Structure 1
Amino acid sequence: RRFVAMVETPTGCLFEDIQREDIHVEAAVGRGTFGVVFKAKWKGKDVAIKTIESENERNAFLVELRQLSRVNHPNIVKLYGSCDNPVCLVMEYAECGSLYNRKSYCVFRK
């Protein structure tokens, strides 16, 4: 059974079913709400890969997937898609790092 199929997404909110072999993981860059966050390349662009480490983190994963699949705004990290094996989110890479650890704001490029 497809993992992401358990999440209801609003009409018009599309994200891709991404294959693991299409992702080139470069390095671990931190920890998120759940699991580890990696910098990677997908379709020639820098992306962040958020993984889950245990079944206990599945609910947090589903909440984030549901929330990000509903929004499309330049100030919110874009969800490109998800991967089933391993279970992960493929998201826009925020070059300035986590806002949680930052004391100043990043300069956003257009």
Structure 2
Amino acid sequence: SPSATMVDALAGCLFEDIQYEDIQVEAAVGRGTFGVVFKAVWKGKDVAIKTIESDSERNAFLVELRQLSRVSHPNIVKLYGFCDDPVCLVMEYAECGSLYNRKSYTVSVLK
């Protein structure tokens, strides 16, 4: 099954297995490296849900899950965990949007 393959590929990584039913999805806020990003609420806090749209995006998903599960720093978006049905990352919600948008805004203001 896909979730068994995912768990095998992520042995040694720390994250929570989250049930999608525990998430209240509010609105789509953009696109990520893969799939659509939604603002949602999980355990009373705002979160970003990054979804997978196709099997070809699975590798990018696994890389991001593996990388984020190994770091903890106040300047890096926190990974809370993932759901396996549907497949998605559950991450800290960055109120100001993506770093790409923030950089573009800063450059345009400075011109």
TM range (shorter): 0.7 to 0.9
Give distance in 2, aligned partners of 1:97 and 1:85.
26
**Per-residue deviation, 1:15:** 1.3
Give 5+ residue unaligned stretches, structure 2.
Answer: 107-111
Rg (Cα) greater in structure: 2
**Per-residue deviation, 1:7:** 2.7
| Percent pairwise identity | 80
Aligned residue in 1 for 2:92? 92
Please state whether the residue corresponding to 2:97 is helix, strand or coil.
coil
RMSD: 1.6
TM-score by length of 1: 0.87
Return the letter of the residue paired with 2:80: Y
Runs of 4+ in 1 over 2 A off after TM superposition: 1-4, 6-10
Matches within 5 A, 1:1-110: 1=1, 2-3=3-4, 4-10=6-12, 13-102=13-102, 103-104=105-106
> How many residue pairs align between the two structures?
103
Give 5+ residue unaligned stretches, structure 1.
Answer: 105-110
